[in-house]
Structures are given as structure tokens and as C-alpha cells.
């Protein structure tokens, strides 16, 4: 259970960071 929760947390962090990078990329392109 603990491992599954930690993995989910890491995945969420990666998704959030990915969205931020994409947003910054759009701003730079714009």
C-alpha cells in the first residue's frame, strides 16, 4: 500500500511538472 501511494505521488508530481514545462513552453512560443 505504501509503495503504491508513493508511486502515485511521484506520478502526480511528474504530471504537474510536465504541465508546468508545457505551459512555460507555450508562453515562450507565444
Q: What pLDDT is attached to residue 27? A: 86
Q: What is the pLDDT of residues 1-30, one digit of tens each?
A: 567 778 888 888 899 999 999 999 988 887
Cα(10)–Cα(17) distance, integer angstroms: 10
Cα(24)–Cα(30) distance, integer angstroms: 10
Global confidence as pTM: 0.49
Tell me the torsion sign for CA atoms 10, 12, 15, 20. Answer: negative
Q: What pLDDT is attached to residue 28? A: 85
Q: What pLDDT is attached to residue 1? A: 55
Amino acid at each position: 500500500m505504501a509503495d503504491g501511494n508513493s508511486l502515485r505521488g511521484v506520478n502526480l508530481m511528474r504530471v504537474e511538472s510536465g504541465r508546468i514545462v508545457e505551459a512555460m513552453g507555450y508562453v515562450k512560443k507565444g
